[in-house]
Structures are given as C-alpha cells and as structure tokens.
Amino acid sequence: MNYTTAKDAGPKGAPASPSLVRVAILGNPNTGKTTLFNRLCGLRHKTGNFPGTTQEARVGFIKPDPRDEQPALELIDLPGIYSLELDQSEADIARRVLAGTLAPAGQPAAAPDAVCVVVDSTNLARNLVLVGETLRRRLPTVVALNMIDLARKRGLLIDATALSLHLGCAVVPCNARAGEGADAIPAALASARLPNITPPGTRDGLEHWADEICAAAATSHSPSHAEVHVEHTDWTDRLDRVFTHSVGGILVFAAIMFGLFYTIFALAEVPMNLIESVFAGLSGWISGVLPQGVLREFLAGGVVAGLQGVLVFLPQICLLFFLISILEDTGYLARAAFVMNRFLAPFGLSGHAFMPLLSSHACAIPGVMACRAIPDRRERLAAILSAPFMSCSARIPVYVLLTVILFPGAPTKQALAFSACYVLGIAAGLLSALLARRTLLRGPARPMALELPTYKIPALRTAFLSTYDRAMSFVKNAGTNILAICIILWWLSAYPKVEPPPEATGLRAFAAGFDDGQIVVRPEMVNGDWPLESAAHWREKADAIESQHALAHSFAGRLGKLIQPVFEPLGFDWKLSVGVLTSFAAREVFVSTMAVVVTGHDDTSEGITEELAAATRDDGVTPIFTPAASWALLVYYVLAMQCLPTLAVTARESGGWKWAILQLGWMCGLAYVFGAIAFAIAS
Amino acid sequence: MPGEAAPVVDGCCQGTSANGHTPRKGVALTSLTSGQVGVICETCTEPGDAMLLRAMGLRPNATIRVCRLGEPCIVEVIPSRAGEGTQCSRVDCRCRIGLAYLLAQRVMVAVEAS
C-alpha cells in the first residue's frame, strides 16, 4: 500500500504500518458527508474540537473483519466546505488537516493516508471542483458518489468507471442514507492510490475541467424523467415561497418552533422527574447503607447530587438535538434561517443564530452547543456570548418566587413582571451581541448566502446518531466540569462541620422519648407559645435548626457574610448573598438554598413562598425580601451568569476559558449595575 | 466599508471582481422576474463573498433560474455543460441557493430569451 499511517506521524513516504489508515472525509455542505460518516462508523466515534478552534472534530473508526487482511480505518469528518481556497475557518481547517499541520485534539498531526471526497451526484459539476482541488494536494483519494439514487430518479446516469478514469482515482457510487454501496468504501480507502492526473491550477481551468468531466461521465436521460424533475421543482418552488414568505414564513416558523419547544417541555419533564427520583433514591440508599461520616456525605451530597446535576439536563439536550436534526434533514431549517435573518441582522447576527438563541430559552447549555451551526466564527462567538441572557427554564422558579413576593394576589401584575423578565433577557442578549460585533468581534456582517437543500423525508438513523453524539459530548466534556463544580459547591456548603446548636440538641433529646405520631408539648422550653405538635415535627424542627446553623457556619455561609458588603448596593443581606453564591451551580438552587437558610429544610413545595416572603433579616424586623431588594434580585437573575455549567460549555465551545471568563464578567457586571439601579429606583 | 459591496452603475459592476473576468453589461439579479432564466455575468461583492458565491456555483456563465424574488432571493443554478456555451440541459445537476436581497442586487445577469 502506498500510504503512511497516523501512528508513524512522520513525513509522507515514511514506512507504512498496515495497522491503521487515517482518512480525511471532505465534501461540499449538504452532500451527505455526515450521513456517510455515520453509516460507516455508527457509534464507533468520538467528538472533540480541532485545537484552538471552535470547530467540532469527529473521529470515527472502522474495524475490518479479522478474516480480511485490511487495516483499521480512522475517519476524520472535516467541516463541509465549497472550496479549499476560501477565506473561511472551515476551509482553513480542511487545508491544514490535508497538509498534516492540524489534527483533532489528542491526535498526532500528520497528513492523512487517504482522502474521501463525498460528492452529490445530482450536482456533479460543482462538486468536482472540490475534487480537483483535493487531487492537486497529491494524496491518495477516493470519490464517494453519494445520492446516486436521487441522480437516477432525476434521469441523470453517471458512469462511475468513466469518471474514475477521468479523475485518476477510485470512484464508489453510493447512497449513504440507505447504505447502498457504502460497504465498498472502506476497502477502496484502504487501497487508495495517488491520483494519476493533476487538475489545472487556476479557478477558471478547474471549473472548465470539472465541466468537461461532468459532460463526459454523466449521460443523458429520458424525457419522462425530465417531467418528474419539473414536477419536483414546482413543488419545491411552492414550498419555498410559503416557507420564506415575509408573513406566511414567520407564521409557519412560529408554529414549528412552538411545536418543537412544547414537545421538549412536555416530553422532557417525565425523564427529568425520573432522573431526579432515581438519584433521590440512590442518595437515600447510600445514606441507609453507609455509616454516617465524610464518605457518606461526599457520595450522597456531592457525587450523587453532582451526577444528577449533569444528567438532569440530558432529556432536554437529547430532545432538542433530535428535533433539530429532523428539521435540518427535511431541508426546512435552511429556509427558516432566512426568515429570521431580517430580525437578527441589525444586531450583527444572521438567521443561523436564531435556533441557538431560541433553544437557550429551554436551557442555555444546548443553546450554546447549537451555536456550532453558525458558520462565521465571530458571529458564532457573539451568539455564544448572548445565548445565556435568554431566560432559561432554570430561572423560572426564581421568577415565580420573586414575582409572587412582589405582587401577592395580583396574577396579572405577576404575569406582566414575568413577561418583562423574558423581554429584558432578549434585549440584553441582542444588545450584547451588537456590542460584541462592534468591538471585540468586529468584522463584516456577511450578507447571507445559503444553499437550500432539497426537501427530504428525514432519516431517523441520522437523527439518533446525531443526538447520541451530542449527548455523549455533553456528558464527557461539560458533564465532568459540572460534576466537579457541584462537588466543590457541596463541600463549601457542608464544611467545616460545627457542633449542633443547643436548641436543636435539646429539642431532639426531648423528642427522642416519644414515637413519631405522639402529640407532645414542652411548655417550659418555649414559654407556652408553641402549638401542640407530634414528636416527628419536633425532630424535623431540630433538623431545620441544625441545617440553618450548619449553613451559616459553613464556608459558603461565611463567604456569604464576607461578600454581603459587595451586594449591599443591591439591598441583599447575607442570606440572600448565600443564595446568590450557591446558585452559581445552577440558578434553580437559589430557591432551595433560601429555603434552607430561612426554614432549615429544602422543601420548596407550596407554602414556602409565604415563608420566604415573611422571613426577616438578623434584626428580626426587616424582611429579607424587601420590595426594592426583590426588584434588584429579579433584575440580577435575569442578567447574571448564574450557571457555572453553562460557563463550562462556553469554554468548550469557544475553544478556551477566555470567552467564558469574559461572559461571566460581562453578564455579572451588567446584572450588578442594573440590579443596583433597580434597587435605587425601587427604594 | 466592510460589509458594503461595490456600487452598481448602469447595470455594470464598478468594484472588485474575484474571478478575473472582464465585467460585461447585465442587469441585477433582483430585476429579473420569478421564473426568468439568465446567465451570470459578474458578482460585484467583496472578494470573499464573490469567491464563496462562485464556489457555490454562482459563477460566470452559469445559468440560473429565479425561483423567488425578494428577501431571500432564491435561484436555481444550472451549470453549463462543456461545449454547450450557455445552453444547458434542463434536467441536469442543479442546486438552489438563497441569497440575501443585498447580495442578490450585486449579482449581474444577462437575461436569456426563453
């Protein structure tokens, strides 16, 4: 074989090892490149980034049958590009991978042993230009003639043998969607040879060369096929007119988005509740099996809670990406991008950014991950920076709590305040994107030009594999960060250990002599003010007092007291400061933290709002949630980056912590300033 | 200024051309009617955009059919077959491209008699 291997990682021409052949998969967008990759590799792949870039890198493996004397293949799925010569980050990555100066993170940088160029049989002339550019790189090449079934349907017959002769490399006709012909590709790649022709070097020459080959290899068709195609075109025209119509297009888009997010919210709730109950059971089981001590607390309160914090997001992520993949595969998403383009263009974003921003209303994590679909790097980063401003579902408990406290018994005002939070988040996100595009991410706002793929019935296999890929990527990369953050925050809340307060010890000792259901009272302890309650109630009361005491003296509690002066301009006391601090793990933690701080238990069921609204500060008179502090807190939670898991995903998607730290500083700074302004106005 | 394309004067480009062809007289793509067929003369945009459009198939002498006018402008690209000049097979390789109106204004087209 005339290839070197990735293991050698040496210059081309070095002795080849037959054990592993590195293959770069290249192709125009919408040629079925990823479908072919999924068909060949299935679940045997991993997703990472190209070092120093935000570009996703997928590496798959094909293990041959042991009886065959074929080497294993390592496939690198390169981003879809129209030309290797374009001034785009995707084209730059493809150029560098083919030159052997870039490889997916963790892989040795070496030129690929072979290149597989996936071409769309129904658009051969244009695709052959990219084939020509690849052949000029002098690498063993195989052309996968994909969508051959569609070409046949349209009356286009391509002579693969003639095409192979003209191109000087192997040509394999295939239909990646159905699997037809795909089995022949690994063998062709394993035996790929250097092309025996060199295409012209100029653009004009290359295009003419591609046209000539297309004319020589593609044979004519029957008139009946022509009629079929004209009918197909008519339908496509009609659908395009509806989907991109200035009014109708928006209505269709709104209906599809409503359906998409309704499905996500409706379907994700069940598995999310299931995950929470499974982890609650697991935590209870650990508490029951292990003796009291550090290990038990670490496993039950740190590891299990952290794992829950990771996996509870999975249903939303899986559903979102599954549905997006389905929509993308139908060909609709490209049309929708144009519908939203006119709204986002004034803010330096294009229609590509709409889906990520909308997704962020469910959860910023999949929203930030969905920014991968934005082709322009600057615009992608601007969208990543603005996505967490969108009010995610984790903010809802906080909004509900604060609007109810602010407008008790006035549902209309509560609804208005609730809606205003969403509007404020969207406005802040878009204005932040505009600011970023005018300063740090300055660059030409490219007018949108997008290929509109043919309408197709979506392939479920592709959607499932894409969803699996995204889910694994989240669990492996972001998940590990989220788990670590949750464990750190647990430790801060649980340590150092302090002796239980005498009040709790005394109450527990008193209740110890009675069964749970027994009604008991101890008037001398409370001067006769306490009502008659069961022994179980007093035990719970003792636990609550102990939890409050432990949190107040924990590192988190001490930090809350330490940073309280910082939040003084927003009207927060130390308890609110602790709530803000702990909710960096996830915003929804705020309500349960406040429940612990105020009541001593983390039960956030009905009635807790009233308890929190009535709770007072250390002076015993001033409410914790004064109207001014509540307004400040509401504004703060709309704008602040109170979600370290999202930060971890931002760091991953933007290619480093620089942008994540900027996002944290900008959002928290903005939240602080506007929170202080809200407090000053409301005071 | 970044993001702004060259001005269009009398139907001819007065700006950067990435393809090396001599600009020839044509009309803006947006002045065609829906369903009309034309041949691309020139794309009068920034070099980066012109390169991209060309790589997408909107290259000089490519035949296009206007599918939808407005925002976006949708065209179907029907590449010329070698040796056939601007004549093309109506049932051949073709793709659809959506263009922002601003961009479509900068694509100059010679109208083909149908």
Find where tokens 């051309």 sit: B17
CATH superfamily, with its number, for domain A20-221: P-loop containing nucleotide triphosphate hydrolases (3.40.50.300)
In the block, tokens 């022949």 appear at: A184
CB atoms within 10 A of CB B3: 13
CB contact under 8 A, A449 and B53: yes
pLDDT interval class at A309 (50, 70, 90): low
- pLDDT confidence of residue A655: 80
Nearest CA in chain A to B52: A86
Question: Residue A312, CB half-sphere, CA atoms under 13 Å: how many?
Answer: 22
Cα A335 to Cα A355: distance, rounded to the nearest angstrom: 12
Q: Is the pLDDT of residue A575 over 60?
A: yes
Q: Is the pLDDT of residue B10 over 90?
A: no
Q: Is the pLDDT score of A1 beyond 70?
A: no
- Using alpha carbons, select from A566, A641, A667, A623 the residue that is nearest to residue A406: A623
* % of residues, chain A, pLDDT over 90: 25
Burial class (CB in 10 A: 0-12, 13-18, 19+), A512: exposed
CATH architecture for residues B8-111: Roll (2.30)
**Which pLDDT value is given to residue A389?**
95
Q: Are A644 and A589 in contact (CB under 8 A)?
A: no
Distance CA B97, CA A454 (A): 11
Q: What is the mean pLDDT of residues A363-390?
A: 86
Q: Tally helices (H) and strands (E) across chain B.
A: 2, 8
User: Per mean pLDDT, which range of A112-121, A196-205, A552-561, B86-95 is the poorest?
Assistant: B86-95
Domain ranges within chain B, ordered by starting residue: 8-111
Specify the long-range contacts of residues A498-501, CB closer than 8 Å, at least 24 apart.
A498/A549, A498/A550, A498/A553, A500/A545, A500/A546, A500/A549, A500/A550, A501/A545, A501/A546, A501/A549
User: Which residue intervals of chain A bear CATH 3.40.50.300?
Assistant: 20-221
How many whole angstroms from its chain centre is CA A562?
35
pLDDT on residue A481: 64
Chain A's closest residue to B99, CA to CA, is A449
Measured N-to-C along each axis, helices A574-582 and A479-494 cross at an angle, to the nearest 10 degrees, of 150
Q: 3-class SS at A428? A: helix
Question: Is residue B93 pLDDT above 60, yes or no?
Answer: no
pLDDT at A637: 94
Q: What DSSP string describes A62-74?
A: EPPPTTS---EEE
Give the separation between CA B7 and CA B25, rounded to whole angstroms. Answer: 14
Which A residues 74-103 touch B at CB under 8 Å? 82-83, 85-88
Q: What pLDDT, on a 0 to 100 scale, did the predictor assign at position A328?
A: 85
Q: CB within 8 A of A357, min separation 6: which ones?
A: A349, A367, A383, A386, A387, A390, A429
Mean pLDDT of A210-229: 68
Instruction: State the Cα–Cα distance between residues A207 and A519, nearest whole angstrom.
Output: 91
Residues of chain B with C-beta less than 8 angstroms from the C-beta of A90: none
Distance of alpha carbon A551 from alpha carbon A553, whole angstroms: 5
> A513 near A404, Cβ under 8 Å?
no
Over range A240-269, report the average pLDDT.
Answer: 85
Tell me, yes or no, if A207 comes closer than 8 A to chain B by beta carbon. Answer: yes
Residue B25: predicted pLDDT:
65
With CA atoms as reference, the chain A residue closest to B98 would be A450
Element (H, E) at A76: strand A72-77
Q: Give the relative orientation of helices A574-582 and A627-639 as an angle to the nearest 10 degrees.
A: 20
Q: Does A449 touch chain B (CB under 8 A)?
A: yes
What is the residue-averaged pLDDT of chain A? 82
**C-alpha distances in angstroms, A408 versus A402, A411, A412, A413, A648?**
10, 8, 11, 9, 37
- State the nearest Cα–Cα gap between B10 and chain A, in angstroms: 23
Helices A223-243 and A332-344: crossing angle, nearest 10°?
30
Residue A643 DSSP symbol: -
Is there a contact between A158 and A148 (Cβ–Cβ < 8 Å)?
Answer: yes
The reported pLDDT for the residue numbered A156 is 82
